[in-house]
Chain A
Amino acid sequence: MKTGIFRQKLYYGACLLFFFSVACAYSFSPELKNALMRLETSDSISGITYKVQVGSFKFPIEQFVFLREQIGDNFVLTHGIYQSYQEALKAKDSLQAAGFKDAWIPMYLHENRSDLSEIAGYLSGLEHPLHLEEIVYSDENSLLITNEKAGAILSSSFFLGEGDSYLKKLFFMQGEQPYYSYFLYAIIIFLGTTLSLITTLITHRNTVRAANAKRKIIQRKINGFLSDLILHEDLSEQLLDQKLTDFRTKIPIKNDWCKELMIKNIIDLKKNFKGEMSSLFISIYLKMDLLSYSKNLIKNKVWYEKTRGIFHFEELGYYEGLPLITPFISSRNKSLKSVALIAHISLKKEAPLEIFSDYDGHIDKIDELKILDTIKKKKIKIPDNIQDWLKSSNPSLVLLTIKMISYFNHLEAADALLELLDSPNEAIRRDVIIAIRQLYLLQAESKLIESFPQENIDNQIEIIKSLATIGSYATEEFLEQLVELTDIREVKIETMKALKEMNSLLFHSTFNHNIDLQLVKLHVEDPYIL
């Protein structure tokens, strides 16, 4: 089911599989590695020699410094013949320091180039394979390996088939280049991740399909049950209890997804019904113990789970839930704060807008829309001290207040509103200009004309619109001058529209002196252009 918890389980499942694959990569035995270490710590072993290889080419190389040797199709250059691995190692380091960065140590068995598995086979075939000293590791988990054990390990582990010896070497960092092993580990990790992801993908798809099918069945049951309740003419408290008890046995109400589905259906129905029917939905919500589910969501540590619970209360109009929501209005999390604020306004019965008296949070444009929508839906009354908010140092609150004043048609705030035409904030000035035409504040005319040149284009356009609504002869005169002077398309069109609206004499002229204005006039007069 596509719920938060299900998703979380999926994430955990994928993570577990991933870590399992990582663990697999590191869980191989270190025994072979120990055996090789013994080989490397011996002074000399009969039949085994080492050289230092400095290059390998497809063609023979003419030079006199290094020994030449042909290995398969390749011509290689080597240096020295060493009985002890340590001696060879020193020579290799010197050569690398001298600039032969690729120098490495190949092994020879009876003077033939051999790989580790061949040499291991040779060693294990000796009657007394090695006179190995006991190796004691110095770390805390020290491992004591006796001669017998070492011999056993060598004889059991180095007798490998051609096919698997290479991989074994890689696992225990015995590759010809040590970083091979790291790549192998990385491959195993990513292969494990790949397989885990494929399994999760297929499982997820199947689970979603099954869950959707189940959800459809439950949805049909819920539809039937709620329709039955709505259409029932004499639904007593007792009958409702009985029906709810029966219904609880028919759906998996213990599951969160089912509770969520039930709440969603109740919310959807509640939006379309009012009065008594509305209280029936709250009864169902309470009697089915969905309240504790919503409460648990609000108490959840994760903020977005809280928003789900708050959303339930808000949409259901569960006023008693308000004390649980109010503390989140001062939350640092912007989203949670916003959801709690809207729910608070929606659920508080007495003076819900009072919350803004000391509100210092940012109210964005969408919050504004939500708050205005809630005010409209809940028929909230105008607060007594709304004018004080216009003086707030929180610009977003001032913007909201201007819109509320317009909505409430609160003409008493006109003077305070007009003072804001001098605000340094462009957005505040714009909203005031819009409010002026909505409230029909005739006294603002001269101030708007005066401030026009200082405003940006958007505000200028709003001023023209407002002047068209409230303007007098002075506006007409101003607009007649403006239409001749401005070069900005939008300003020209808006000015011409305003002149048309005010039935200006100029609008009825032919503009013979100015073709551009003729075109603007045609634009404004066209019945199909909005």
Chain B
Amino acid sequence: MIQFILSDFIRIYEVFIGFYAVSYIFFYMGLSILSFIAIKAYSNTKYNIKDDILIKSNHVVGVSIVAPAFNEGANIVFNVQSLLSLNYPKFEVVIINDGSTDNTLEQLIEEFELVKVDFYYQEKIKTKPVKGHYRSTNPVYSKLLVVDKVNGKSKADASNAGVNSAQYPLFLCTDVDCILRKDTIVKLAKPFMESKTRVIATGAAIRASNSCEVSEGFLDKIHYPKNWLARFQELEYIRAFLLGRMAWSRINSLLLVSGGLGLFDKEIAIKAGGYWHKSLGEDMELITRMRKVMYEQNEDFIIKYIPESLCFTEVPATINVLVRQRSRWGRGLIQTLSLHKDVFFNKKYGRMSYLIFPHFLLFEFMVPILEALGILVLLLSIFFLDVDYNNLILISVFVYFFYLSVTLFSILWDEILYNHYASVKEVAILILMAFIEPFVYHPINIYATLKGYYLFALSKEQKWGDMQRQGFVKVAKPKLTKA
């Protein structure tokens, strides 16, 4: 009897998974095609707008770079120098020292000749108390503003204090350890100036900087990471940014502008209440609320994604840190979906209600659960029922090669567009990583995400991500010696 019940259950599961997998495959193939169209359309316009016109104009829209820092003493000076050197005629850099327990603030004060100023601060978004604002006495650093505040246990709280202190109508949110390409602001601000419809946010691709050559906060040469975990993440980033987000951007359905790099309309972000300090996926949550504000205002809007790697960041290099990061992302996803459950199939929220949220629920949230369930079903079948091994092998091989095709396509696309890698060897390693990713890296991800769901269910308190920085490959400067 048990066998018959089990058999029925597995039969139903089979049918469900069959439909699910087919729709998943077709959905992602559709996204790949959309992505291809979007990237092509972007690259076609390169003779249309020359950046130098924007760089020397006085009429561009102002941008405040908001970068929270928590115990970043090791690299803070170089990182701020790097941010200050970006090419844009009207911008400021707002660094938020979120109650660091190391010498982050002291280093900033010393290096940039800062003094405490009488900054008139208004808390448009509620945050932990701000202790003071610092400005440089040296005109060279006139674009720098440092906000010192009480630790709020979240990047969101620190970012909000930065947004409250920002003077320009757009704010670029990044992590202080991110290395931005010099033309980052130009690229991200352009859509705000060229679109007839109001643009409320823009984002761009992020890459792993783990083995890149960096000198004093500036990127000298891009290399494929040497660390195995970082290599997998590089691969994952390429695929997600080039094939996923570009497609969503094409149909104006982007829900995720990375916390590492995103340019936002300050007015709408403040109306939406800023970053939610209890959020674990604050970037996605903010976009959700900004979208809601626009739908409620009944105003057309665009969220755009740029298919260029503008930001380089150090990605987790140990399993523990990776699991912690992915677990936080998992919790962030489930938290956002449950917090905004009113969006589902509520026609007031347009495509967010019938396309974006259902996608995140069905394909982003459900996949780790179904994968775990799949393994369970497989084990039950092996022990209690007759498994059709031929079928199992065929479908597994099919799924594997489908995955490989999609991944390699994104690598090729990346190579043709940007030629990032230094040699055939680096490309070959990337291909090799693609082959072994499903067996080595993917299970870690699934475990971490499920752990995140579990922790969400237990309502565990969240903390600022404490990632041990490995440091960049530093380029030694040639010394001049007397002959």
Contacts and interface: CB of A to CB of B under 8 A. Distances in A.
A198 B195 contact: no
B183 to A, nearest CB: 15
Interface in B362-411: 383-386, 388, 390-391, 394-395, 397-398, 401-402, 404-405, 408-409, 411
Given A373-B56, A519-B120, A526-B135, 13 more contacts: A57-B385, A59-B3, A59-B384, A187-B398, A190-B405, A197-B412, A205-B424, A206-B424, A365-B193, A366-B53, A492-B120, A523-B119, A528-B135
A339 B48 contact: yes
Interface residues of B, number: 61
Contacts of A526: 117-119, 135
A366 B194 contact: yes
Contact of A362 (B196, B388, B408, B409): B196
Contact of B431 (A59, A201, A311): A201
Given A180-B390, A184-B394, A190-B405, A14 B412 contact: yes
Contacts of B412: 14, 197, 200-201, 204
B297 interface: no
A194 interface: yes
A366 B118 contact: no
Contacts of B398: 183, 186-187, 190
B109 to A, nearest CB: 13
A149 interface: no
B57 interface: yes
Contacts of A193: 401, 405, 408-409
14 contacts: A61-B3, A101-B11, A180-B390, A180-B394, A193-B405, A197-B411, A201-B412, A204-B415, A335-B45, A365-B59, A372-B57, A523-B120, A525-B118, A529-B135
Contacts of A520: 120
Interface in B187-201: 190, 193-196
Contact of A522 (B57, B118, B391): B118
Nearest to A169: B390
A206 to B, nearest CB: 6
A208 interface: yes
Contacts of B195: 364
A335 B48 contact: yes
A311 B47 contact: yes
A308 B135 CA distance: 45
A370 B3 CA distance: 74
Contact of A338 (B48, B53, B196): B48
Given A364-B195, A366-B190, A368-B59, A201 B411 contact: yes
A193 B142 CA distance: 54
A307 B47 contact: yes
CB-based closest 4 A-B pairs: A56-B386, A522-B118, A523-B120, A190-B401
B44 interface: yes
A10 interface: yes
A489 interface: yes
A137 to B, nearest CB: 29
B67 to A, nearest CB: 19
A58 interface: yes
Contacts of B118: 519, 522-523, 525-526, 529
Contacts of B427: 201-202, 205
Interface string B301-345: 000000000000000000000000000000000000000000000
| Tier of interface size on chain A | 35 or more
A184 B383 CA distance: 27
A7 interface: yes
A381 interface: no
A231 interface: no
B391 A177 contact: yes
A489 B122 CA distance: 7
A187 B401 contact: yes
Nearest to B50: A370
A183 B394 contact: yes
B391 A58 contact: no
Interface in A7-53: 7, 10, 14
Contact of A208 (B7, B169, B385, B419): B419
B390 A528 contact: no
A7 B46 CA distance: 15
Contacts of B395: 183
A34 B169 CA distance: 73
Contacts of A166: 390
A170 B390 CA distance: 10
Interface centre among B60, B61, B412 (most CB of A within 10 A): B412
B383 A372 contact: no
Interface of A: 2, 7, 10, 14, 55-59, 61, 74, 76, 101-102, 166, 170, 175-177, 180, 183-184, 186-187, 190-191, 193-194, 197-198, 200-202, 204-206, 208-209, 303-304, 307-308, 310-311, 335, 338-339, 362, 364-370, 372-373, 403, 458, 489, 492-493, 519-520, 522-523, 525-526, 528-530
B11 to A, nearest CB: 7
B239 to A, nearest CB: 13
Contacts of B424: 202, 205-206, 209
A523 B390 CA distance: 75
Contacts of A176: 388, 390
Nearest to B190: A366
B360 interface: no
Contacts of A55: 7
Contacts of A370: 49, 53
Nearest to A204: B415
Nearest to A200: B412
Interface string B53-77: 1101101110000000000000000
Contacts of A528: 115, 117, 135-137
B401 to A, nearest CB: 4
B59 A366 contact: no
Given A339-B48, A368-B59, A175 B390 contact: yes
Interface string B413-443: 0011001010110011001000000000000
B52 to A, nearest CB: 9
A338 B196 CA distance: 14
A235 B386 CA distance: 90
A180 B391 CA distance: 7
A369 B60 contact: yes
A205 B416 contact: no
Contact of A529 (B119, B124, B190, B384): B119
B415 A205 contact: yes
Contact of B120 (A187, A311, A365, A522): A522
A177 B391 CA distance: 8
B45 A304 contact: yes
A193 B3 CA distance: 41
Nearest to A61: B3
B401 A191 contact: yes
A200 B119 CA distance: 57
Contacts of B388: 176-177
Nearest to A315: B50
A511 to B, nearest CB: 12
A7 B118 CA distance: 57
B49 A366 contact: yes
A308 B196 CA distance: 25
Contacts of B402: 186, 190
Contacts of B136: 528
A369 B192 CA distance: 14
Interface in B442-481: none
Contacts of B405: 190, 193-194, 197
Interface string B100-122: 00000000000000010111101
Interface string B120-145: 10101000000000011100001000
A191 B398 CA distance: 9
A148 B44 CA distance: 63
A2 B420 CA distance: 13
Contact of B44 (A209, A335, A519): A335
A310 B384 CA distance: 72
Interface string B157-171: 000000000010100
